[in-house]
Structure 1
Amino acid sequence: MKIAIIDSCDHCYVSEPDIEREVLGEKAEVDLFHVRNTGELPAQVFGYDGLISWHLVPLRAPFINSLRQCRGIVRAAVGFDNIDLQSARERGIVVANVPDYGTEEVADHSLAMALNLLRRLQQGHAVVASGSWDWREVGPLPRLSQLDIGLIGFGRIGMAVAARFKAFGCRVRFFDPYVSSGVEKALGVRRCESLAGLMQSSDLISIHAPLNDETRHLIGARELAMLKGKYLINTARGPIIDCAALADAVSDRLLAGVALDVFEDEQAAIPMLFLQRNDVLLSPHVAFYSQAALPELRRKAAQVLLSLVEHGYHRNAIH
């Protein structure tokens, strides 16, 4: 069989397909393509049996409709918003993701961002850098065990984040209309029946939802107004937050703090406003990463694809 890895030529994740070749062994020929978009791929890719997709190169309908014998596409990540699922279904191509890699890393990164904001570490650094050791200049600091933490999305990562906040004594609640009743009892958290209820009752909001038509710009001006004096963290997908509305909220100093590992358009320049404020914390879409997580992701993506191509099924298939 022939397998293609489609990665970006900018900020690529795979420089050499050594892990994938090790997993697939003699069963497949593996080719790696670094492109800016699918229009730069050679025509030979249309005849490949399976694809591993990295998120910076969208696989839209015209490309998928041109695949002649592809049996499976694996999105090397949890989210799969860069793939046109409807077109894949119409072509009989099974799409799967890798939902069980990097859960610890994203949860840890979310908590690290929260602690940075809540303990005002950037402000503390600035105080010392200015030559002062006056702790009063850092500003007010809340006690973590007195905080209500709100999670948007309560899948694997949301649950892992909840466990970490609970270890600090925080009260944790979530909003996720797709999670069955009873999870809250098993994990000792509280369910909110509406997004507004979650926003109004939480001191800090952390986003752990997938990007789809329902969640795109889920957090806009109306929702941000509910977070006056509160904290907002996003380690999920950038477009879940309306960037223009967030810029207005940051400019008006509406929020106590904002931490973003993802941005609405990661190919565009970050607005200077976000770079000049000590109540805004940014990281370069790195929450998923550790020296253990990336090889794990690549290995699992290849294993899932092998199952799709050979058997037409894997438990990670997206239905």
Structure 2
Amino acid sequence: MGTNGKQRDVYFDNAKFLLILLVVVSHAIRPFVNQSPLMMTLYLTFFTFHMPLFILISGYFSKNYQKEGQSKKTITSLLVPYLLFQVFYSVFDALPREFEDFSLSILDPYWLMWFLLSLFTWKMILPYFVPLKYPIITSVVLALLAGYMEDMDSFLSLARTAAFFPFFIAGFYLKRHHFDLLLSKGRRVWAVVGAGAIFALMYWLEYHSVVLDLDWRRWLYYSFPYAELGHTEWYAAVYRLITYVLAVAASVCFLALVPRRKLLISRLGTRSLYVYLWHGFFIHTFKALNPQQQFLSFFDHLLVILAAIGLTFFLSSNWVYRWTRPLVQPKLGALLFSRDEEDHRKENRQTS
């Protein structure tokens, strides 16, 4: 992804690569969570923050929402890839069944495609939230109330769109100096301690907690109404609020440990969307092989993690970037803009 002549902040590129790596690893170890407490604890720890923080960073880089042509750019960079990969994944899923019961629903995102649709929605509604007096508090209240709506599910990714929106709007209001507050040696030591504490907490919550008897894995998906999670109490929203607190705490620890200097992963971090969109095909193929029946030991699971890390590097490579860019970042300006609009956009890019 180009820089348009501007100096990139490698800190965020490093963060994005490490986050997408955790996403891939999390999906790769999913088949083993019920047979290994270590894999379950890792899975819960990663899910506590990797998508909330990814979304927060997306909000941080959405400050130019008022820039001319931004809405059209959002359509070409998010909605169009969503539509393309929604079709790709639907076809891919139907291939083993020889297209029996094949269905294609544009309004019901397929697995990981929810993120693109939600990100598109957040960017489009952002101008309506910024003028509010308390936009972050408003988004949190709406997210907590959304969990009580039993009809709010995967349709249009409404459940996750509402639940994750506070992270996006919070990221929008963060400034660079807020992140700088985390970048000192002393804070890094505390970040390591905090990360270890969150890991231990996830283990305790999953295997030893009596007070909070919750299916934390499903709570961290943010895709189920409270009733479907077995909680119809009036205070059920408190549990979601707890997940928010954990997400913030884990994100702070992670951000304090992200390298600040330019590394190999800095360049690869600019291609996180490529990893996100393509890794699902590999993960689904892997799951179809019933790996939980073949990979049984700790070293087997470690091998899967290493393979997931290798897959992340491969999907970030120049080869994947070059050959799949027309699908991930299609150039549809001629179709979406008039000739005058397109010429004007080119002039703006040249002078910016």
The TM-score with structure 1 as length reference comes to: 0.30
Larger RCO: 1 or 2 (CA < 8 Å, sep 6+): 2
